[in-house]
Structure 1
């Protein structure tokens, strides 16, 4: 008779299990990965410098930034390049360039597309598009890629854009729009008329987004006042008069001090939730993500990871996070000794980390990592200043999809086997990780005989203790061979075999 002895799970592993978002994974196309998209990068062209902004319309992804050239994925700098000064467009299905290729004379910091896919608006530092004067903003017809006559003329950088109905909302560092005072926030119709909407922020605006029903607008940045009232970093504004409504969740962002100024860098809404990303200056300054009710403005949850969060994107039950998170011990997760996590996903319900762990590095001019996200619903495009994705050369731009498949579990090490007593062996093996799954199934074999199956939860930074199996189904003098197989429900990896002589 065989005797099965299961190892106890460490406290760290219990914590890991508790961090798994409640409810089933959403939007996975097939078994093999748990979040809305796989962690395996798909083919895409790349850029020669940072991508600061992304937007999607139909089957086209629009990118803007500091880059001036693009090249095929995997190619080194200078090989196969095409000139694309500060903007480019790509086919969502293939990752290859598409037809939109205007010529600008300055960097792009924001892009927005209309819900009907007809219009593309860009904002930044430029003053010329295709040789035509366009001060910091320009609009294109997405059907024929032509520059339109829309020309509000903005006095300084436009770093945030949103389109709702017939209105384009602008945010940035400017003080005048169409020759009229508009401090850092303004609204212009699709016909080019400046609207009276004038929230009047006292410092830069980095992010703008509206609820899906177009009834509320959220703005974020480094401001301390909007409309003369105290509103630090985050505000919920009236669409008609621009006045700030009460938003209790904003109090979760610590007020500025000499040692810490935390700015909102990105905002994304989904349903009746708004998700807000912050980047702080100074050691220990708030860099996290919060979720709020988009009607009441009340806080739903908050993650206080350190390492500036530059981009958030909500899809289904998940919020994708682009940052250089290096210490999430405040949330009961990994500490400063676990390395930097540039790409993570969090549950929209709890804020706890979910099963998605691809990686990038940092590089380029900004040296931050991921800076911008966009999605067409079944994919996630990531722009930034990185030069590698999942350890492979890929600069500035990458994409992940829900195509069938997913990452494989890492190959387990050969089990450790001893024979502590006559007619008995003890087999131990540790957990492994999978970059788009948390829960994995382990099966131990003696030769071709299955000895036991276990389910273990593990994160790249937290793994259970080894599992121990005591095998009494052997005889003295035998030389049995043991191996472990691990599966994520789709793919399977197998360890090398370990042999022991039984006492």
Structure 2
């Protein structure tokens, strides 16, 4: 659920950890063992405002939102800034800023949606602006990726904010809160040629059950051209005149706009769909709600027939979803996933990134985190995959409890951190027996850790334990030694790649 309470840093101290790992299944579902990215953020430039949208094409990540400057990694606000008005471009691998920087101004001066053409030659942009670079535009524009110029062919007139874009080889679908496109009635969704010509595709999107946002809007679009199908999501209760059974999610014929899937019962009242994406087989959505009994999490459905594959029950306003190598990554501020396999109970500390098994929705041990940040205090708002690196943008001002605003990145390697070493204690309550006790540590991207015990400086034994930051079991080991002898013990933890420093030594004398 959307909440505005102050983000509270984790009380469980942890190093910045990470190696891609295969997780021990947690909960009733059995994850297929999908490896995740590391939770170690790469060095990334920052913005001085909110990132709402991102797109990737030909080695470049394009970032749009509401900001006026970017600054280097680790730099404090106002330090080393470069002027960038609501738009910036970065080298996808190095993260370095590029000179491509047309300003998007007018309207409310923000970019809300971005999508690359299938061939990567164009970036389609939508939002609330009246000028792109030096030319006038009406809430939409294109950018030529070859030379960073504003495109001249596609310049439709859209009556209000564009919040969603998806693109095929010959059609551009736009969604938002508008009523007209090119002077013709188009309620919240429209389809155009890359030339800007308006297509006959037409759907009527009306109504809303969200009391604090009564204006209907299409927030998300994903297109399956091979099935001639468009899935739309947003805040609405009526599609093409339907009175019942359609709420916040619908499947449309990609040519005519007629309803092909109603998704009855998927999205409850007071919830809206904020994100949609597909991988050619399934589509995935993220939802946000207000009040009790809402749906705030993620769901997966079949593109072919609209059937539901799975749906989680996490609370915490999901804003972005992205499937990659069997894992669904998402941005939210999840605070209660107690009924989802691998999930956590209702906790005060929100978790802003999640990774789930696409096969069965199990939450995998990948827990990089941000704070809620500025604006509406949602945290992450946008995700894009670029050359194997996950880029995330949003409202946050910290990542893994370190200052970092607006942007961050995660890769599959390198692993740069080790788990925190636990505190070791020891007692002897019977002759020749020494029992060591400690509390399991945890790792941001590994579920199972190995604990190595040393006696008198020599390796003795090891124990494995599955743990999460909200579930750190007590662990113990009983050693057999000569009665009356004293020994020193220490412990270290490894995630399979990195080894913590040893804790101790602890001196214990065995009972005689």
Same fold (TM over 0.5): yes
For 2:319, the equivalent position in structure 1 comes to 310
Query: Which of 120, 125, 130 is the equivalent residue of 1:122?
Result: 125
* Mean Cα deviation higher: 281-290 or 443-452: 443-452
For 1:322, the equivalent position in structure 2 comes to 331
For 1:501, the equivalent position in structure 2 comes to 509
Q: CA deviation at 1:286?
A: 1.5
For 1:392, the equivalent position in structure 2 comes to 402
Is the 8 Å Cα contact of residues 93 and 389 (structure 2) preserved in structure 1? no
Matched, 1:186 2:190: yes
Matched, 1:238 2:253: yes
Change (3 A) 1:350 1:212: farther
Query: Which of 303, 306, 309 is the equivalent residue of 1:300?
Result: 309
Give the Cα–Cα distance (whole angstroms) in 1 for the partners of residues 373 and 412 of structure 2.
27
- Listed as ranges, the matches of 1:328-343 within 5 Å are 328-331=337-340, 333-337=343-347, 339-343=349-353
Q: CA deviation at 1:60?
A: 0.7
Is the 8 Å Cα contact of residues 16 and 458 (structure 1) preserved in structure 2? no
For 2:94, the equivalent position in structure 1 comes to 94
- Listed as ranges, the matches of 1:181-330 within 5 Å are 181-202=185-206, 203-211=216-224, 213=226, 215-229=228-242, 230=244, 231-248=246-263, 250-254=264-268, 256=269, 261-330=270-339
Is the 8 Å Cα contact of residues 57 and 120 (structure 2) preserved in structure 1? yes
For 1:32, the equivalent position in structure 2 comes to none
Change (3 A) 1:79 1:341: same
Change (3 A) 1:421 1:328: same
Q: CA deviation at 1:310?
A: 0.7
Give the Cα–Cα distance (whole angstroms) in 1 for the partners of residues 226 and 38 of structure 2.
29
Give the Cα–Cα distance (whole angstroms) in 1 for the partners of residues 28 and 128 of structure 2.
42
Query: Which of 161, 173, 176 is the equivalent residue of 1:169?
Result: 173
Give the Cα–Cα distance (whole angstroms) in 1 for the partners of residues 383 and 196 of structure 2.
27
Give the Cα–Cα distance (whole angstroms) in 1 for the partners of residues 34 and 417 of structure 2.
16
Is the 8 Å Cα contact of residues 164 and 219 (structure 2) preserved in structure 1? yes
| Cα deviations by residue, 1:120-146 (Å, 9 ceiling, x for unpaired) | 011001011123210000011111111
For 2:497, the equivalent position in structure 1 comes to 490
For 1:450, the equivalent position in structure 2 comes to 459
Q: CA deviation at 1:338?
A: 5.1
Is the 8 Å Cα contact of residues 26 and 362 (structure 2) preserved in structure 1? no
* Mean Cα deviation higher: 440-449 or 104-113: 440-449
Query: Which of 159, 174, 188 is the equivalent residue of 1:155?
Result: 159
Give the Cα–Cα distance (whole angstroms) in 2 for the partners of residues 16 and 340 of structure 1.
22
Is the 8 Å Cα contact of residues 38 and 406 (structure 1) preserved in structure 2? no
For 2:392, the equivalent position in structure 1 comes to 382
Matched, 1:463 2:472: yes
| Cα deviations by residue, 1:281-331 (Å, 9 ceiling, x for unpaired) | 124422111111111111111111111111111101111111111111232
Give the Cα–Cα distance (whole angstroms) in 1 for the partners of residues 332 and 478 of structure 2.
44
Consecutive unaligned residues in structure 1, runs of 5 or more: 1-14, 27-34
Give the Cα–Cα distance (whole angstroms) in 2 for the partners of residues 179 and 46 of structure 1.
39
Change (3 A) 1:243 1:407: farther
Query: Which of 457, 468, 482 is the equivalent residue of 1:474?
Result: 482
Is the 8 Å Cα contact of residues 340 and 361 (structure 2) preserved in structure 1? no
| Aligned partner of residue 252 in structure 1, secondary structure | coil
For 1:131, the equivalent position in structure 2 comes to 134
TM-score by length of 2: 0.89
Matched, 1:365 2:375: yes
* Mean Cα deviation higher: 486-495 or 398-407: 398-407
For 1:7, the equivalent position in structure 2 comes to none
RMSD: 1.7
Give the Cα–Cα distance (whole angstroms) in 2 for the partners of residues 367 and 214 of structure 1.
38
| Cα deviations by residue, 1:337-384 (Å, 9 ceiling, x for unpaired) | 352101111110111100210010122222110011001251111111
Change (3 A) 1:274 1:474: farther
Give the Cα–Cα distance (whole angstroms) in 2 for the partners of residues 68 and 282 of structure 1.
34
For 1:107, the equivalent position in structure 2 comes to 110
For 2:16, the equivalent position in structure 1 comes to none
Consecutive unaligned residues in structure 2, runs of 5 or more: 1-23, 207-215
Give the Cα–Cα distance (whole angstroms) in 2 for the partners of residues 246 and 349 of structure 1.
23
Q: CA deviation at 1:247?
A: 4.7
TM-score by length of 1: 0.90
For 1:29, the equivalent position in structure 2 comes to none
Is the 8 Å Cα contact of residues 382 and 393 (structure 2) preserved in structure 1? yes
Is the 8 Å Cα contact of residues 340 and 363 (structure 2) preserved in structure 1? no
